Amino acid sequence: MEKKDLISLYNLPIDVEFCRKCTVSNQRPRITFDENGVCSACNFAVYKRQKVDWKEREKELIELCDMHRKNNGDYDVIVPCSGGKDGGFTAHQLKYKYNMNPLCVTWAPLRATEIGRQNLDAFIASGFDHVLGTPNGTVTRKLTNLAFKHLGDPFQPFIYGQTNFPVHMAVKYKVSLIMYGENGDAEYGGDMDNAYRPDKTIHDFDRLYFSGLPPEFWLEHGLSEADLKPFMSPKYEEIIDNDTKIHFFGYYKFWDPQENFYYCTQNTGFTTNPERTEGTHSKYASLDDRWDGFHYYLGFIKFGIGRATSDAAHEIRDEKITREEGVALVKKYDGEFPKKYCHEFLEYCSITQKEFDEVVDSWRSDHIWEQVDGLWQLKRPVWKSDPQPVV
């Protein structure tokens, strides 16, 4: 299989450098480092902790809720929620603390886990109206196969359905406010354009795109416009006519994933995996999809950044662990192969182990990987970079 040029595809720096505060590297797409070698996510964490007046932010939230609250039994906010800790925290706070009437919406996992479905059922039972969007299974499998082979990420069909389904529900139920949990780019490192504002600008929602691939690509591979429609957004005119606004709860409330977990165990019936999640040290994040581990594993292959790196980096920023502890966790768990569901994944994508390995190796960039004694290893892992930490 043809080798991919990740440097051009993702505009990656050739030299791998690590943040001096956390475990993330400059290979994360769209992340930026300042003149002191500190990543944008770490600087945003300092801003949240030291610069934001959270009492004033809560006043802004109350004003927003007052503006959208309907008081007639109609839904007044859409909350995307899989039954996990983050959507659960957002929905529960909005309903039981701020007197909103949320409609919670879930785009179905590619292949649900037992614990994921259990948590979703428990969340609904804790007092929420809910809609589950489940697309055609045959189409979803084909999209997953193509996304794995051509984008290096089997999760892309889910991501786009997950992004657009809440907008469909907002238009359908005439609800103008959509409330997400955190701003992922701000919290984990990425495009900081919306980091210091409460909302996300709505644009280009009338175009179908999958990580830069045009609609023609999917049509050429045997999919029809009808097949793709559930993964697309509503027409742009419908979104504007509905006066649709997308806000982040993390703008209004201090965002701490671990504290969200504690909150949901007490309020929405959330439970953890009985065992550690493959590829990381935690038991409570991203539990609902069996293919989730392959999304993170391919991220590790493409960028040298796996699930443990992201989890440890966020816990360092949240002052739960030290950088030294984070590096140790990354060394121990990052890049662990998701073997639990491997056989099911190959069957779902209709590929062999050999085909899987060929696709994976086609996404290994020479500036990140090297072979030593026939085995692949990172050229510059975080535990060998040892930048002087910033105090």
Per-residue pLDDT at 210: 53
Q: How confident is the model at residue 114 (pLDDT cuts 50, 70, 90)?
A: very high
Distance (Å, rounded) from C-alpha 75 to C-alpha 95?
11
Determine the pLDDT at residue 216: 81
Percent of the chain with pLDDT over 90: 84
What pLDDT does 208 receive? 46
Amino acid 212: pLDDT:
59
Residue span(s) of the chain under CATH 3.40.50 come to 52-252
Average pLDDT for the chain = 93
Mean per-residue pLDDT, 26-41? 96
The predicted pLDDT at position 284 comes to: 85
- What pLDDT does residue 185 have? 87
Residue 328, pLDDT above cutoff 60: yes
Q: Given pLDDT bands bounded at 50, 70 and 90, which one contains residue 378?
A: very high
Tell me the average pLDDT across 3-32.
Answer: 95
> What is the identity of the amino acid at 305?
I
Task: Give the C-alpha separation, 246 to 291, whole Å.
Answer: 27
Residue 318 has pLDDT above 90, yes or no: yes
Among 159, 126, 124, CA closest to 140: 159
Cα separation, 157 vs 165, whole angstroms: 12
Within 10 angstroms of residue 146's Cβ, the number of other Cβ atoms is: 21
Q: Is the dihedral of CA 266, 268, 274, 276 positive or negative?
A: negative
**Is the pLDDT score of 331 beyond 70?**
yes
Closest CA to 301 of 328, 336, 332: 336
Q: How many CA atoms lie within 13 A of 143 on its CB side?
A: 27
Q: What is the pLDDT of residue 68?
A: 98
Please report which confidence band the pLDDT of residue 388 belongs to, taking 50, 70 and 90 as the band edges.
low
Helices (H), 208-341: 215-220, 225-228, 236-241, 249-252, 257-267, 292-303, 307-317, 323-333
Quote the tokens at residue 315. Answer: 């816990």
Lowest mean pLDDT among 3-7, 15-19, 208-212: 208-212
pLDDT of residue 386: 65
- Bridge-partner residues for 377, per DSSP? 370
Q: What is the pLDDT of residues 143-192, one digit of tens each?
A: 999 999 999 999 988 998 999 999 999 999 999 999 999 998 889 988 78
Evaluate whether 258 touches 315 at the Cβ level (below 8 Å): yes
**pLDDT attached to residue 263:** 97
Tokens of 97: 């603390």
Q: Kindly state the tokens that stand for 273.
A: 């995996």
pLDDT at 273: 87
Per-residue pLDDT, 222: 92
**Residue 297 pLDDT class (50, 70, 90 cuts):** very high
Cα Dmax for the chain: 69
For residue 194, the model assigns a pLDDT of 78
Helical ranges in 51-196 per DSSP H = 54-68, 85-96, 114-125, 137-151, 156-172, 184-188
**Over 60: is that where the pLDDT of 18 sits?**
yes
Does the domain formed by 52-252 have CATH 3.40.50?
yes
- Token pair, residue 356, equals 């899987």
**Distance between CA atoms of residues 378 and 263, nearest Å:** 38
What integer pLDDT is reported at residue 205 of this predicted model?
55
- At residue 391, does pLDDT exceed 60? no
Q: Among residues of the chain, what percentage have pLDDT more than 70?
A: 95
Cβ of 74: how many Cβ atoms within 10 Å? 12
pTM: 0.94
For residue 375, which phi and psi values (nearest 5 degrees)? -115, 140
233-268 pLDDT per residue, tens: 899 899 999 999 999 999 999 999 999 999 999 999
| pLDDT tens sequence across 86-100 | 999 999 999 999 999
